A = this chain, B = another copy of it.
């Protein structure tokens, strides 16, 4: 059986987790998990991060409704990064854009490449 303790966490006990939309392949966001957040994500099927600013579990979408249903959790070759394949409801970003990566660098300037969803 997979044990969340077998992953490599940083000095703060955290591991980065990339969320990717299962069908479109969009990279939605990156946030952090601790060991218990990994366990909760796997047991509940709801992607659950650790909020570094609030120092609390962050069940994605719990207040906004923009939940991330876990399709599959993957880990990298160094066991120090996670990739959550998800079914995202609505926007992933707090700016109401589909992805947090809505700013591109083009010709040395920051360009917004995504508008908020209705």
- Interface residue ranges, A against B (CB under 8 Å): 1-2, 16, 18, 20, 24-27, 29-30, 42, 72-78, 81, 83, 93-95, 97, 100-106, 108-110, 113
Contact = CB atoms under 8 A, between A and B. Distances in A.
7 contacts: A2-B110, A18-B27, A30-B76, A72-B106, A75-B103, A75-B110, A81-B101
Query: Which 5 pairs of residues, A with B, have the shortest CB-CB distance?
Result: A25-B25, A76-B100, A83-B101, A74-B101, A30-B81
Nearest to A80: B30
Nearest to A73: B105
B24 A109 contact: no
A108 B1 contact: yes
Given A72-B104, A74-B103, A77-B93, A30 B16 contact: yes
Contacts of A81: 30, 100-101
A38 B18 CA distance: 20
Contacts of A95: 77
